[in-house]
Structure 1
Amino acid sequence: MLLTSASAWAAEMKIGFVDTDRILRESAPAQKAGKKLEKEFDLRRQELQRLSAQGKNLQAQMDRPGVSESDRKAKERDLIRLNQDFQRMQRELNEDLNTRRNEELAGIQERVNGAIQQIANNEKYDLILQEAAWRNPRIDITDKVLRLLSEK
């Protein structure tokens, strides 16, 4: 009897699933955040490219035949300093980019959760999952969430 009532209860439950990875790839807020981050860090990436080109130029100057030993040593010191600056700037860029990306993702996740909650309330869902080892495509409501996010 307990088994029968449990299966009747489960049959009446309305369950949905949202593919969070897809939301973070395809949603309007995620794409907007990606463009914003790209623009925000573009100058620093260009600076890194400039340093890289400068390092290649120094290396090419060192490899030329006829370069005096003192000139070669000075260029080696410059190249070492340039390489250290490049690595430091690259590390800082990556750290700052990761921090900003996490901030943007937190804001997006908050909006996604709000959209999911709105759909759950409007359509009377009992349970909406964001992660599952397997799910039936019939319960996937990701498209609804994407549409709601694009409307906001």
Structure 2
Amino acid sequence: MKFLKSSKSIQFGLVAVIAALAAPLVFAQDAGTRVAVVNSEKVFNESNLAKAMQTRLQNEFTKRQNELRDSAQKIKSAAEKLDRDAAVMNEAERSRRQRELADQDRELQRKQREFTEDLNQRTFEERAKIAEKANLVLRQIAEQRKLDVIVQEAAFVSPKADITDDVIKALNSQK
């Protein structure tokens, strides 16, 4: 009998918690709150602005990337040559070439870090430009459709609430 009382109080507690969590949603629906969802990563990947950004970044960084790749290949070739020739070299020459290779490798790693930092910074700058334009489009869509809230990256989205494709179309129509 005591078990039934505690079981009923647990059930009552669960019902109370569920009701408390659902109340804002019911209130929002009753008040006519209109919500839409946008997938920002899709906007950043599929819009014409995003594709143009990728092209700009590729044009800007391809030369440096190729230089880094060529430098890495030269260091690798020099290391392989040192391994092959090490047996016939005197100790001083072998040590000198090992130091040179180590210095070249450190310099290459430094340049690779700088490259990555520069690429990340430029990507951030370009994405900020896209985000600014997308936010303007989101405001326009919200006004047109009388939306109260636009959410990014929801766990679940009904297709009727997803406005991502509309945002991409609006961005693509801009010049």
Contact 1:116/1:145, CA 8 A, preserved across alignment: yes
The answer to whether the 8 Å contact 1:14/1:124 transfers is: yes
CA distance in 1, matches of 2:94, 2:159: 65
Question: Which structure 1 segments of 5+ residues have no match?
Answer: none
Q: Which residue of 1 aligns with 2:17?
A: none
Return the alpha-carbon distance in structure 2 between the equivalents of residues 134 and 88 of structure 1. Answer: 43
- With over 3 angstroms needed to count, the CA separation of the structure-2 counterparts of 1:86 and 1:8, relative to structure 1, is same
Q: 1:120 to 1:59 in 2, by over 3 A?
A: same
Seen in structure 2, the aligned counterparts of structure 1 residues 114 and 101 have a Cα distance that, compared at 3 Å, is: same
Equivalence for 1:83 = 105
The amino acid that maps onto 1:52 is: A
Give me the identity figure in percent: 34
Mapping for residues 132-147 of structure 1, pairs under 5 Å: 132-147=154-169
For 2:48, the equivalent position in structure 1 comes to 28
Aligned counterparts of 1:127 and 1:48: Cα–Cα separation in 2: 46
CA deviation profile, 1:22-47 (whole Å, cap 9, x unmatched) = 11111111111111111111111111
TM-score by length of 1: 0.88
Equivalent residue pairs, number: 147
Measured in 2, the distance between the counterparts of 1:36 and 1:45 equals 14
2:7 corresponds to: none
Does residue 119 (structure 1) correspond to residue 141 (structure 2)? The answer is: yes
RMSD: 1.7
Which structure 1 residue ranges, 4+ long, deviate > 3 Å from structure 2?
none
Q: Kindly indicate whether residue 152 of structure 2 is the aligned counterpart of residue 130 of structure 1.
A: yes
Q: Deviations over 1:51-82 (max 9, x none)?
A: 11110111121111453123322321221111
Moved more, 87-96 or 66-75: 66-75
The match for 1:19 is 39
Is residue 2:98 matched to residue 1:97? no
Please, which runs of 5 or more residues in structure 2 have no aligned partner?
1-22
Q: Which residue of 2 aligns with 1:68?
A: 89
Larger Rg: 2
